[in-house]
Every structure is written in structure tokens, then in C-alpha cells.
Amino acid sequence: MTDDTILSVSGLSKNFKAVKAVRDVSFSIRRGKTFGLVGESGSGKSTTARLVLRLIEPTSGSIRFRGRELANFSPAELRAERRHMQMIFQDPYGSLNPRMSVRETLIEPQLVHGIGTPAERIQTAELLLAEVSLPRAALDRHPHEFSGGQRQRIAIARALATNPELIVADEPVSALDVSVQAQVLNLMRDLQDRHRTTMLFISHDLRVVQFMCDEIAVMYLGEVVEQGPRDRIYYSAAHPYTQALLASATGKRDGKRARLKGEIPSAHAVPSGCAFRTRCPHAFERCALEKPAIRDLGLGQKAACHLLDGQAVS
């Protein structure tokens, strides 16, 4: 792990009683890059996001943030470390405190982490508002006076208030209309360029992920089935699930769409061997017996599938 790696997750697992929500997930993110976690219901992507921020405790595995193992932090140290990691949530209507004015919302993170003098905090709040293209008059207003897209901007401004190293964005634009989504996505890209913030971007929408992310990990039932640089995933996806996701999303009606059969299995009853085998059009006997190992396919791309045996690089 180089000094440039902001976040490194290894063997991360989380069980909620009988449900294995996250199973042996590993990835790392370099400074200034955007890493996308893509998946459908039950994929474990949102749980992974919360584990990374240590909002919930992992069952096992390591999370190294800024070079230090998060599990080794005392509660006080962890609280202090949180200024370097912030989150943007999906629901613009639930993630802002309705009783706090925008000014208070933007000042609070600074206050909590003891950043700056009161005058400086207000100044930062004003600067942040300008960065997200909201007028200064917004400072005195409350969340209910804003539209969904505007609230997300406020949430983004709040996330930037402590100048964090890492921002975790959990489906930040899923609840927004297309034209508003475009504005917010552009904004996030601009801010990231300007502040060199590292981002973990979670979404179910492959189109958005392709636009935003440098590297992508595809999750299914708690595991990473494929990961790699964006273009590799889009133009030469190796795992049947990734291929199906791409096909569903782009599919023309009369074209040959690789239609997945069946439903996503419940996380209570993960299929043996390869979890995807119950829906995979190419499944064969080995898939039920043996869990596929992650194979390195070169150029940074990795996938876990028995079909790739001949293609593995190492």
C-alpha cells in the first residue's frame, strides 16, 4: 500500500445474525479517485459504505484509512478522525435536520470538530454555499424551502465543511430528476477536481457510475464479483453478472439481451459455491460445488468466475 492510498479494505465481512450482508470484500482507493460500488438489492453496497465509515462494526476484516487501521482507534480518536471522512445520503428530504437553518447545518460539522473561530466558520459556510452554486440568502432558510436538488447541494456543502479526505456518497442522485441529476453530478465532479477529494460512490445506476467513477466494483449478495478500471468494466466485462447488468441497462427491445432468469436470492439463503449460479446463463456443475476465487485478468481487472480459468494472468 502506497502513501497515495486513502482507503484500503481487506477481507471485510459483516453478519447481521443469520444474514451475511457483506462477505470478504476487498478494494482500495487512491487519493483523488472516485471508486464506484455497483449492485442491486441485497448486494451489500450500502452496508459496505457504513462499515467503511465505521458507522457499524464489521464482523471481521480490516479497514485502513489514511494509513491507519480503523479498528485500532479509540472512541475519542475515531471521533476526531471522522472529520476526514464524510457522507452524502440518498434521501435529500431526510438527511437534513428540518429544524436547522442552512447556516447552522453548515457550521455544525466545523463546530463538532473544533475547526476555526466562529467568524471563520461562518465564512466557510458562505464559501461552501458559493461552491455549490446556491445564493447567500439560502443561509437563513430551512430545508423545507428547497427542492430536492438544492437540498442535495446543501448536503454536499455540508460534507465538504470539514475538508475531508474521503467522501462516501450513497446513491446521492437516485431520488432526483434527470436534469437536476445532471447538475448535481457535474457539481460533484467539479468539486472533486478542485479539492482533490477521494470518493466512494455507491449506486445501482450503471450509467451514473460510468460517468462518475474511475474504478468500479460490482457486488452481488455481499461479494465483489468483479472490479477494475471503468473502461475495462464497460468494454470488456468478464463476469456474467456484470455483463447482465450492462445488457439490462442498455438493451434494445429487439436486440439480444442476456436476460437473467429468476429473482435475486434472499440474503438468508445464499446459494452454495458461486452465489450467482442460480441466475447465471452459463452455470455448470462446478459452480455449485466450489466458490470461484478472484482471478487477476490484468490491467487492474479482477473477477470471480470459474469460466475465467484460462484467462487469469497470474
Partner 1 sequence: MTVRTASDSTPTAQPASARELVLEVRDLSVSLRNADGLLPIVTDVSFSIAEGEAVALAGESGCGKSITASAIMGIAPDNAEISGTIILNGAAISGLPHRERRKLCGRHMGFIFQEPMTALHPTLTVGRQMTDTLRHNLGLSHAAATDRAAELLDRVGIPRAREILKGYVHELSGGMRQRVMIALAISCGPSLVIADEPTTALDVTIQAQVLDLLDEMRREFELAMLFITHDLELVGDFCDRAVVMYAGDVVERGRAADIVRSPAHPYARGLIDAMPRHGDQRARLTPIPGTVPPVGHWPQGCRFAPRCSRAGKKCTVRPPLAVHIRSDVRCWYPLKVGQ
> Residue 244 interacts with partner 1 (CB under 8 A)?
yes
> Residue 137 interacts with partner 1 (CB under 8 A)?
no
| Residues in 274-313 at the binding interface with partner 1, rule: CB under 8 A | 279
Of 27 and 220, CB closest to partner 1: 220
> Residue 97 interacts with partner 1 (CB under 8 A)?
no
Of 53 and 275, CB closest to partner 1: 275
Residue 219, class by beta-carbon neighbours within 10 Å (0-12 exposed, 13-18 middle, 19+ buried)?
Answer: buried
Only segment of 5-13, 96-104, 155-163, 175-183 that touches partner 1 (CB under 8 A): 175-183
Query: How many residues make up the chain in this entry?
Result: 314
* Cβ-contact 200, 166 below 8 angstroms: yes
Q: Which residues contact 276 (CB under 8 A, 6 or more apart)?
A: 220, 221, 225, 239, 240, 241, 283
Of 54 and 189, CB closest to partner 1: 189
User: Measuring CA to CA, which residue among 29, 159, 189, 36 is closest to residue 88?
Assistant: 159
Cα radius of gyration rounded to whole Å, the chain = 20
Question: Which of 60, 97, 123, 147 forms a contact with partner 1 (CB under 8 A)?
Answer: 147
Question: Which of 26, 31, 32, 234 forms a contact with partner 1 (CB under 8 A)?
Answer: 234
Of 19 and 264, CB closest to partner 1: 264
DSSP H helices in 33-117: 45-52, 75-81, 102-112
* Cβ-contact 252, 244 below 8 angstroms: no
Only segment of 26-34, 48-56, 106-114, 203-211 that touches partner 1 (CB under 8 A): 203-211
Give the whole-angstrom CA distance, residue 219 versus residue 28.
15
Residue 137, class by beta-carbon neighbours within 10 Å (0-12 exposed, 13-18 middle, 19+ buried)?
Answer: exposed
User: Smallest distance from the beta carbon of 28 to partner 1, in angstroms?
Assistant: 25
> Residue 177 interacts with partner 1 (CB under 8 A)?
yes
Only segment of 103-111, 164-172, 258-266, 292-300 that touches partner 1 (CB under 8 A): 258-266
Please report, as ranges, the residues that interact with partner 1 according to CB under 8 A.
40-41, 147, 149, 177-183, 185-186, 189, 204-208, 210-211, 234, 244-253, 257, 259-261, 263-264, 279
